[in-house]
Structure 1
Amino acid sequence: MKKGLRLRWRWGLAVALGACWPLAFAPFDLSFLAIVLLLALFWLSDAVTPSAAATIGFAFGFGAFAAGIYWLAIPLHNYAHMSWLLSAAAVALLALYCAIYPALSLWVAAKWWAHSRLFALPFLWIGAEWLRAHLFTGFPWLATGYSQTWSLLGGWAPLLGQYGVGLATAGVAALLLFLIRHRANRRKAVAAIGGIVLLYTGAAFSQDIQRTARMHKQLTVRLIQGDVPVTEKWNVAKLSAVLDTYVKLILATPKGTNLVVLPETAFPVFQTQVPGLLRNLQRWSAEHHTNIILGIVEYAKHHYYNAALDIDGLAPWHWYRKQHLVPFGEYIPFPQLLAPLVHHFLPGLGSFTPGDGPSTLNVKGLKAGMTICYEESFSRDVRKGVTQGASFLTNISDYSWFGHSTALPQSLQMAAMQAREEEKPDIRSTNTGVTAIISPGGKIQDKLPAYFRGALNGKISPRKGKTPFGDYGDWPFLIGSFLVLKILRVGWKDHQLLHLRRKESK
């Protein structure tokens, strides 16, 4: 009975700790809290059976995601016309799915690394996050590394990406717990302190090394934020007013601007529906020597694409088609089974086709690494443009679906991490926020207030070259994690064998 009570107490505490997890991320930015919460979770799951460890991890994960992605209920209620209860249930269902991954990491640690679980846990914890970002198209939100975007540990990003940053964060938590347990053992305490110092010192050195080089050419950019409500954007009766809003903001572009960027689906029509307007924009682009990157829905060969159109004077158009689509938003998984249910709430939803072709657009002899909305939260999607020669990053988004929620600052934080990983400037044009210019080091150079109609004018300095993460992606992290886990497992077996031999010799 007492054992059952103790386990239920751990479950309750794990849910409460998980609910605090979003506080480590934007807009709260309590980055140190990620370390504290992981330390507490590792302590809770220690010295329990694998099944108990899994349930503790599951409880933590459910609390974290239920609190951290609550904003998904907003479009379900406001635009799919679900009740708040049904919307909350849908979010809870996703939170239950996401909770499987922390549960898996703690179960594996207790099952196969029982005697070295504290050292294995950081690798397994981040490995599970990597799986969550890849399986079933992936969902990387609230990954540990993103909590450290603007902290010292974020200095590992150009070397190992955000998963390497997450590993350093979880590593500090594990070492702190080891230090607390063995504070009376001088040798172990010094080793733990040395490990923590090494992780922070390495991050400090890493962030001071410039791996890409500033190019001589500067770009003057204008990032437009239309602040068009969803209810107006897709209302046919409001179409003329929406297009007029963006045209006026384009025409107000200061002389000498190299690039104007409009948000995702700023023009909520097919390119075939507004040929005259697009020709006029071509002429304006030619007269002002200004590129325009425009979010618009492309219709081509009986397919619909969420796309970005590059207008460079009278030159032929170039397109970037969104490649990583949002499930249940831009496409429907298992359409024969789920399409009738989804279309009951949102008729016609999920009809986009994944894009193909390059992940860059040409701007004044340079390449812009392109992503649209959700793609910017995936390091692997951003990296595609960099491997194709991008010297700066560009994202167009529309987060107006999520209202005044934490989705907006969280997306900005992830964008800043991508800039830090690739050591490239990043420009974002969004419908309602957060429109921003981000430095190659991940700092926010300038931004517009959310839910403000206007434009952000500024300059960026494109950079050539690639970081180690830009070159190799997640492979160093994955290979290194596998090797360490293998060493821990083999090392424990050798230790057991040596112990048995000593006993036999006595």
Structure 2
Amino acid sequence: MPSGSDTTAETAPTGPDADRPGRRTGSAVTPPTGGAVEGGETPGEGGAGGESGPAAAADATASEPSTGERRPGRLRRLGLLARREARRSALAAVSGLALGLAFPPFGVWPLSLVAVAALALLTHGRTARQGAWTGFAFGVPFFLLLLKWLSVVGWDAVIGLSIIQAAFLALMGTGLALVSRLPVPALWPLWTACLWIAEEWARDRVPFGGFPWGRLAFANTGSPYTPLAALGGAPLVTFGVAVTGGALASAALVLWRLKRAGGLSPRGALPAAGAVAVAAAVTAAGFAVPIPTAAADSVDIAVVQGNVQQPGMDFLGRPMMILDNHVKATLNLAKDVKAGRIAKPDLVIWPENASDLDPFQYREAYARIDEAVKAIGVPVLVGALVDHPTKQGYVENQGIVWDPKSGPGASYTKQHPVPFGEYVPFRQELSKIITRLQRVPRDFYPGDHTGVLKVGPARLGDVICFEVAYDEIVRDTVNAGARAIVVQTNNATYGRSGQPEQQLVMSKLRAIEHGRPVITAATSGISAVVSPDGTIEQRTKEFTQDVLTARIPLRDGKTLADRVGAIPEWVLAMVGVLSCAAAITIGRRGRTDEKGQ
């Protein structure tokens, strides 16, 4: 019977079987081979290594001569394909939104497991092209929800960045579809987890140095998986979450197939029980990881949050206003110390951009900072924008150690300026098209060394703003000798949008990962003191002037994550890439064998 006839279209599977296209051989439809779990086919499976089912049939008939007899069959198959993919796309979008809800300010971390499992199931047995679309349909709503705080700049920025980031999930969707056909179905959760690592590895590095927002680890900074950071950093936390989600997907697939085959049985459910046991074991593993917190000595600190005049893009107000806020708050702290209401700290930390003028270019700014530092009588780590000494037109985002006797001394310059926020790539070309980029008048020049600074009696590791999201910057600082981590940040542009909460949980993860206290100093909030075990000891409210005082431990020991560095991430990402290569090779070999027959 012709492949495009009405009869063929009418006998195409519908209902639950509609998502199980076969491989066409003449006029017959034969079931595909492979699959993640033995005992049947998953909804949506196509032929190993290539497209099949209604999509492939429609492509095949499209090249045939058009006849009145064939046209209804082709249209019906296209309609069937559109309906099926629409349902799957909608499920992928809902799953992406679920993953977004796992992150602050919502913080429902178990949804990250559900989302990983859902994406694994939705791409299982699909063709590479279908997997890519499913991954993209999952990624766009996820990033739209996660990055809605960028709407302060413009919703076009939110949409554009979300699409770019979702492209990485489209590639991962392709990989998930491919590896679902590998032999040894029990390893399907492993391939799934390694592909999540590979996707995050790539997204954390390109383009323009990468954008690590949205890593599974950052949704799990208060979950049973968090302690895994002390062993392998954020990548191992992501791996734990992803392998658990993959195992749950495997269990669900086994149970669905058993039910579809006629009912559950204890023997048939053994693979599902095994998958659940793996998920439980990985989840429980975090509780067995020791979190080092013991310290030989400690230091008393004060964190000054001076506040800004208004949230949003124009938070700066008139020059000197933000600096005056931090000077006044520090002078009030000095009065409280003198009156005996507060113990004198050993050092004071100001946030990023606490001085909105270059103190080396503006005498008034220098004098105000010096006044506040001398009043409190201890070194102050000052965040300031400083003109580059040799490259005209460039500015440096610095943390400067300001001593009450000797004045400004050692400094750290932010190594990873934010593209389109602190510098404009291809400025000459893009600024003509996107006039909004002219609001970034000067490019920030990147620093070339880690932020280990001696501030009073403490050797601190300075990390500025978004740098806390990058594994290597924080790790290099700790390995260079930092005994505590300081995150100087300015989130005034994105206040009350969820972004400060998303950044704060990164400090929690870094504390556990490196066994160090993390002090977050923000111009407008959220400032916080995080202990080495990830507990937030103190935090401020947004858009208030406040001062936090605390005694923090100074630690010298290194975690296993500090010692192994990026090795676990590279190894797991490579396993993910090689699993895709193996799936492609096996698929091609299978097609060659079929042609030989």
TM above 0.5, one fold?
yes
1:331 aligns with 2:411: no
Q: Could you tell me how far apart the structure 2 residues matched to 1:280 and 1:432 are?
A: 20
- Structure 1 residues 490 and 115, CA, compared in 2 at 3 Å: closer, same or farther? closer
User: What is the CA distance between 1:342 and its match in structure 2?
Assistant: 4.7
- Structure 1 residues 233 and 484, CA, compared in 2 at 3 Å: closer, same or farther? closer
Q: Which residue of 2 aligns with 1:182?
A: 254
> 1:150·1:443 contact (CA, 8 Å) conserved in 2?
no
1:65 aligns with 2:149: no
> 1:157·1:165 contact (CA, 8 Å) conserved in 2?
yes
1:268 aligns with 2:356: yes
Q: Could you tell me how far apart the structure 2 residues matched to 1:431 and 1:456 are?
A: 13
Q: Secondary structure at the match of 2:448?
A: coil
> 2:383·2:400 contact (CA, 8 Å) conserved in 1?
yes
- Structure 1 residues 167 and 232, CA, compared in 2 at 3 Å: closer, same or farther? closer
Out of 240, 251, 255, the position equivalent to 1:168 is: 240
Q: Which residue of 2 aligns with 1:83?
A: none
Letter in 1 for 2:221: T
Q: Could you tell me how far apart the structure 2 residues matched to 1:72 and 1:496 are?
A: 44
> 2:128·2:174 contact (CA, 8 Å) conserved in 1?
yes
Deviates more, 1:192-201 or 1:390-399: 192-201
Q: Secondary structure at the match of 1:222?
A: strand
Q: Which residue of 2 aligns with 1:215?
A: 296
- Structure 1 residues 491 and 243, CA, compared in 2 at 3 Å: closer, same or farther? closer
Q: Secondary structure at the match of 2:202?
A: helix
Out of 320, 324, 328, the position equivalent to 1:248 is: 328
Deviations 1:88-131 (A, max 9, x none): 22211111100011110120232355335554122112210121
1:56 aligns with 2:138: no
Letter in 2 for 1:215: A
Q: Which residue of 1 aligns with 2:380?
A: 292
> 1:18·1:63 contact (CA, 8 Å) conserved in 2?
yes
> 1:328·1:350 contact (CA, 8 Å) conserved in 2?
no
User: What is the CA distance between 1:220 and its match in structure 2?
Assistant: 1.1
Out of 165, 188, 211, the position equivalent to 1:139 is: 211
User: What is the CA distance between 1:345 and its match in structure 2?
Assistant: 5.1
Deviations 1:231-266 (A, max 9, x none): 775343xx3443332212112233421111111111
User: What is the CA distance between 1:271 and its match in structure 2?
Assistant: 1.8
Q: Which residue of 2 aligns with 1:89?
A: 156
Q: Secondary structure at the match of 2:449?
A: coil
Q: Could you tell me how far apart the structure 2 residues matched to 1:495 and 1:406 are?
A: 45
User: What is the CA distance between 1:365 and its match in structure 2?
Assistant: 3.9
1:463 aligns with 2:530: no
Matches within 5 A, 1:279-358: 281-282=369-370, 285=373, 289-299=377-387, 300-301=389-390, 302=392, 303-315=394-406, 317-342=409-434, 344=436, 346-358=438-450
Deviates more, 1:324-333 or 1:478-487: 478-487
Q: Secondary structure at the match of 2:444?
A: coil
Deviations 1:397-446 (A, max 9, x none): 11110131111111111121111211110001101111000011111111
Q: Secondary structure at the match of 1:182?
A: helix
> 2:459·2:484 contact (CA, 8 Å) conserved in 1?
yes
User: What is the CA distance between 1:29 and its match in structure 2?
Assistant: 1.5
Q: Could you tell me how far apart the structure 2 residues matched to 1:437 and 1:9 are?
A: 46
Greater gyration radius: 2
Q: Which residue of 2 aligns with 1:413?
A: 505
Q: Could you tell me how far apart the structure 2 residues matched to 1:442 and 1:347 are?
A: 37
Q: Could you tell me how far apart the structure 1 residues matched to 2:433 and 2:415 are?
A: 25
Out of 272, 280, 302, the position equivalent to 1:197 is: 280
Q: Could you tell me how far apart the structure 2 residues matched to 1:158 and 1:275 are?
A: 46
Q: Secondary structure at the match of 2:353?
A: coil
Q: Which residue of 2 aligns with 1:79?
A: none
Whichever structure has more helix as a proportion of its residues is: 1
User: What is the CA distance between 1:202 and its match in structure 2?
Assistant: 1.8
Letter in 1 for 2:288: F
Deviations 1:128-149 (A, max 9, x none): 0121111121111111111110
User: What is the CA distance between 1:332 and its match in structure 2?
Assistant: 0.8
Q: Could you tell me how far apart the structure 2 residues matched to 1:240 and 1:5 are?
A: 60
> 1:263·1:398 contact (CA, 8 Å) conserved in 2?
yes
Q: Which residue of 2 aligns with 1:82?
A: none
Deviates more, 1:133-142 or 1:221-230: 221-230
User: What is the CA distance between 1:198 and its match in structure 2?
Assistant: 2.2
Matches within 5 A, 1:38-57: 38-57=116-135
Letter in 1 for 2:192: L
- Structure 1 residues 222 and 281, CA, compared in 2 at 3 Å: closer, same or farther? same
Q: Could you tell me how far apart the structure 2 residues matched to 1:223 and 1:344 are?
A: 34
- Structure 1 residues 14 and 319, CA, compared in 2 at 3 Å: closer, same or farther? same
Letter in 1 for 2:447: G
Deviates more, 1:63-72 or 1:193-202: 193-202
> 2:520·2:528 contact (CA, 8 Å) conserved in 1?
yes
Q: Could you tell me how far apart the structure 2 residues matched to 1:247 and 1:495 are?
A: 67
> 1:31·1:147 contact (CA, 8 Å) conserved in 2?
yes
1:128 aligns with 2:199: yes
Q: Could you tell me how far apart the structure 2 residues matched to 1:348 and 1:144 are?
A: 31
Deviations 1:188-213 (A, max 9, x none): 2342133123212321111x342x64
Deviates more, 1:188-197 or 1:92-101: 188-197
> 2:308·2:316 contact (CA, 8 Å) conserved in 1?
no
Q: Which residue of 2 aligns with 1:106?
A: 173
Q: Which residue of 2 aligns with 1:22?
A: 100
User: What is the CA distance between 1:281 and its match in structure 2?
Assistant: 4.6
Deviates more, 1:190-199 or 1:320-329: 190-199
- Structure 1 residues 177 and 326, CA, compared in 2 at 3 Å: closer, same or farther? same
Q: Which residue of 2 aligns with 1:404?
A: 496
Q: Could you tell me how far apart the structure 1 residues matched to 2:586 and 2:120 are?
A: 25
Q: Could you tell me how far apart the structure 1 residues matched to 2:323 and 2:177 are?
A: 58
Letter in 2 for 1:290: V
Q: Secondary structure at the match of 1:157?
A: helix
Gaps of 5+ in 2: 1-78, 256-264, 338-342
Q: Could you tell me how far apart the structure 2 residues matched to 1:419 and 1:485 are?
A: 30
Q: Which residue of 2 aligns with 1:2?
A: 80
Q: Could you tell me how far apart the structure 2 residues matched to 1:494 and 1:276 are?
A: 71
Letter in 1 for 2:96: G
Letter in 2 for 1:159: L
Q: Secondary structure at the match of 1:298?
A: strand
> 1:329·1:349 contact (CA, 8 Å) conserved in 2?
no
> 1:106·1:121 contact (CA, 8 Å) conserved in 2?
no
Letter in 2 for 1:193: V
Q: Secondary structure at the match of 2:486?
A: strand
Q: Which residue of 2 aligns with 1:472?
A: 564
1:432 aligns with 2:524: yes
User: What is the CA distance between 1:381 and its match in structure 2?
Assistant: 1.6
> 2:191·2:575 contact (CA, 8 Å) conserved in 1?
no
> 1:122·1:170 contact (CA, 8 Å) conserved in 2?
yes
Give the number of equivalent residue pairs. Answer: 484
Q: Secondary structure at the match of 1:395?
A: strand
Out of 374, 378, 382, the position equivalent to 2:466 is: 374
TM-score for both structures, normalised by structure 2:
0.75
- Structure 1 residues 470 and 289, CA, compared in 2 at 3 Å: closer, same or farther? farther
- Structure 1 residues 22 and 229, CA, compared in 2 at 3 Å: closer, same or farther? farther
Taking only aligned residues, the RMSD between alpha carbons, in angstroms, comes to: 2.8
